Amino acid sequence: MTKPFLVLGIESSCDDTSAAVLGDGTRLLSNIVSSQEALHAPFGGVVPELASRQHIRNIGPVVSEALQVAGINLSDLDLVAVTRGPGLIGSLLVGLNYAKALAYALRIPLVGVNHLEGHFHSPFLEYPTIEYPLLCLIVSGGHSSLYHSLQAGHYRLLAGTRDDAAGESFDKVAKMLGLPYPGGPVIDRLAREYAGAGIPFNLPKISDGSLDFSFSGLKTAALQAMQREGIAPVGKTGEISEPVRALVKGFQAAVIRQLLHRVESFARQLAPRSVIMGGGVSCNSELRRQSRELMAELGIACYFPSPPLTTDNAAMIAYTGYKLHRLGRTTPLDANADTNLALGEEFS
């Protein structure tokens, strides 16, 4: 039996330390994620210095667990793929330097992966026959970006993050309301449980007419709604009032309305065969429901990764690294992290 081509993926761009093993680009043998949610929860957001220190503690045990679950040894690996950017510089350096050391010691190639390209490919892990051309919406705590792709490896940015990203706005509004961190899953649940229509919010407009995403104004509108309606944050008892539920439902509806307004506009203009979504916010149940309904109306196939593959994970990095390696791309061992790396930029 032919030995499978084994890729170790490493992801440490923000606050999750992850390692995964992928066989022959199709079989996910392990995908281990160590979350830092509890560490950052008291601050209502990620503290970069704490995140990088925790990555140092986590990286070795997480890689060891990924190898153990996959049933392989370090010597069995054929390639190391690692997130090189964008992200938090301290966090990126932990994963990148660990990966470079492994590749050097094992004398195997290294492929630096764009974190956004990983999210782009996350649906392909489960739906490898997704058809091009396509639109890809990447929505997370740090990114709200819409890309047009004519073929594999081709990316054209249609709309980017002008200020706060969608996930960031969820976290900030949740913090204002005294809700737990991370705010996205909490807001999704509360909105789903609330039977009313929710407090209405206007769709933000950018003065220059751009279709970029802007959620800072919505965050301000949520604060003004709290003041106008006399909505008090959740207290120590943890009891969530009806006004708080109404606000989060309206806020979530406004975020989704803005996201899908851009998707629909470009879908009608460019007529893609597929629409795919990735990133933590793509796990939002209402976004998924409305997206499927909209794409069914337009006659366009719509794909989402399963929930474990929406957040930062090494499976998508291993898959992307494998694809890049098949195209002949490798990354030199003196490569550095790039916090502002744009999707489509070369690494080597």
pLDDT average per 10 residues of sequence, the chain (348 residues) = 92 97 96 95 92 98 98 98 97 98 98 97 97 97 93 93 91 94 95 94 80 90 94 86 96 96 97 97 97 98 96 97 95 95 66
DSSP 68-93: HHHT--GGG--EEEEEEESS-HHHHH
Contacts of 8 (CB under 8 A, 6+ apart): 19, 20, 21, 63, 66, 67, 77, 79, 80, 81, 99, 102, 318
Whether 197 and 251 share a structural domain: yes
Evaluate whether residue 96 is within a structural domain: yes
Evaluate whether residue 343 is within a structural domain: no
**How many Cβ atoms from other residues are within 10 Å of residue 296's Cβ?**
11
Whether 218 and 319 share a structural domain: no
Whether 51 and 193 share a structural domain: no
Evaluate whether residue 344 is within a structural domain: no
Whether 254 and 139 share a structural domain: yes
Query: What is the pLDDT, as a whole number, of residue 63?
Result: 98
Query: What is the pLDDT, as a whole number, of residue 346?
Result: 46
Evaluate whether residue 83 is within a structural domain: yes
Domain with 321, as residue range(s), is 6-121+309-326
Whether 117 and 159 share a structural domain: no
Evaluate whether residue 342 is within a structural domain: no
Whether 67 and 104 share a structural domain: yes
The helix or strand, by DSSP H or E, that contains position 220, with its residue range, turns out to be: helix 216-229
CATH of the domain at 101: 3.30.420.40
Whether 44 and 88 share a structural domain: yes
Model pTM greater than 0.75?
yes
Query: What is the pLDDT, as a whole number, of residue 209?
Result: 73
Instruction: For CA atoms 92, 95, 101, 102, give the dihedral sign.
Output: negative
Evaluate whether residue 345 is within a structural domain: no
Query: What is the pLDDT, as a whole number, of residue 137?
Result: 98
Whether 102 and 29 share a structural domain: yes
Decide if 162 contacts 214 (C-beta within 8 A): yes
**How many Cβ atoms from other residues are within 10 Å of residue 271's Cβ?**
12
Evaluate whether residue 331 is within a structural domain: no
How many distinct structural domains can be found in the chain? 2
Query: What is the pLDDT, as a whole number, of residue 285?
Result: 97
Whether 13 and 138 share a structural domain: no
**Exposed, middle or buried: residue 248 (CB in 10 Å: 0-12, 13-18, 19+)?**
buried
Give how far Cα 95 sits from Cα of 90, 293, 306, 347, Å. Answer: 9, 39, 24, 16
